[in-house]
Structure 1
Amino acid sequence: MAERCGWCGDDPLYVAYHDEEWGVPEYDGRALWEKLILDGFQAGLSWITILRKRDAFREAFEGFDPAVIAGWGEPEVARLLENPGIIRHRGKIEATIGNARAYLDMGGAAPFSERMWGYVGGAPIVNSFASLAEVPASTPLSEQVSKDLRKAGFRFVGPTIVYAWMQACGLVNDHITGCPARRV
């Protein structure tokens, strides 16, 4: 019997995320940006924490509309710091506002998607790891993407965050070889 990637355990929310979302290629630029922001909020925490709060994040951040968020300032930061439904971290909240501005400076959804997918030639990189122990935390490619995003004004986009995001968005397929959710 095939076994799914062990990182998701048996929590139904985590299993559904693993089976239906993680590693599925995402081409919508706005959705890619949202997932990058959520991966930034995950830094130092477990992903299940973010999944459990994802709906609250979407509500608090106006559906992750970069055009709205880019116009925010201290009043919105203060409001978000009072919201118990999200991760209340000033640096990550302020980075989200700056990242919205950087995203818009890149041209928005289509240019962002094209640029991110350009790193992998428009199609997922399919790795063939037999166990989770073989999966790297970052790669030279995630280091390059991280560097380029930081140069464009993004924050909370280190190589490990970027690699996790690339996996989540299907730019990289790191489902272990025996996983039933592996799509190749």
Structure 2
Amino acid sequence: MSTQQSTPPADGLVRGDDGLVRPVWASVHDDLRRYYDTEWGMPVRDERGVFERLALEGFQSGLSWATILRRREGFRRAFAGFDVETVARFGAGEVERLLEDTSIIRHRGKIEATLGNARAALALRDERGPGTTLADLVWSYRPERTPGPRTAAEVPTQSAESVALAKELKRRGFRFVGPTTMFALMEAIGIVDTHLLDSHRRGTSGVWNEDGTPAPGGAQGHTPS
């Protein structure tokens, strides 16, 4: 496990026993460290992957990410691997079953929102044409630059793009998709890079350079009006 100081440093970073610099939140437990090192901020561009993370961010609301991460396999089993078409077919019986499933967060509103979001994702395919998915829509809100926080206090909690994305998703029937939740999603799947400048993960996704400019070959989204 990475070493954590009893008093968090002012910049929000700690150096682990392996010599790598991480934010404090990713240095508390081995599972958080592995998630940070291997997954958080790496690009996820497929519909299933984006739908899973959209659902998990919704379930995380009001809870710690560690709580969600430790139940991730339970969520995957409960929601059919987050296959959009399968989850969209879940009905009242599945809701009651999920409310009895101790391997997930048993919150009726969040469960029902996940089912509704799967149906909205299917409707999105029809509205936007063949080959266009939830992932395509979410990634279209990639900004022209990404933040360059040096300290934890400088990491934003939302952006003009996350506000616009939340508004668009709500218009299309999605729930639990507020601007802060959508910014967290954008961080998790690589649309923005909020790794602190001195973190070993800064600029490693292939989407963004360390200075916050787009990496070569990265497709740009649009700037919200």
TM-score, with structure 2 as normaliser? 0.77
Unaligned runs of 5+ in 2: 1-18, 210-225
The structure 2 residue matched to 1:93, chosen from 108, 111, 123, is: 111
The structure 2 residue matched to 1:33, chosen from 51, 71, 74, is: 51
The amino acid across from 2:185 in the alignment is: W
Tell me the equivalent position of 1:46. 64
**Larger helix fraction of residues:** 1
In 2: Cα distance, 1:110 partner to 1:22 partner: 24
Q: Cα distance, 1:9 vs. partner?
A: 2.3
Unaligned runs of 5+ in 1: none
Task: List structure 1 segments (4+ residues) > 3 angstroms apart after TM superposition.
Answer: none
> How many residue pairs are counted as aligned between the two chains?
182
**Which has the greater radius of gyration?**
2
Q: Cα deviation per residue 1:7-39 (whole Å; 9 max; x = unaligned)?
A: 212311000100110011111121011101100
The structure 1 residue matched to 2:139, chosen from 96, 117, 120, is: 117
**Percentage of identical aligned residues:** 45
In 2: Cα distance, 1:7 partner to 1:125 partner: 24
The structure 2 residue matched to 1:62, chosen from 80, 89, 103, is: 80
CA RMSD of aligned residues (A): 1.6
In 2: Cα distance, 1:174 partner to 1:138 partner: 11
Q: Cα distance, 1:125 vs. partner?
A: 4.2
SS of residue in 1 equivalent to 2:114 = helix
SS of residue in 2 equivalent to 1:14 = helix
In 1: Cα distance, 2:145 partner to 2:100 partner: 40
Tell me the equivalent position of 2:6. none
In 2: Cα distance, 1:96 partner to 1:132 partner: 30
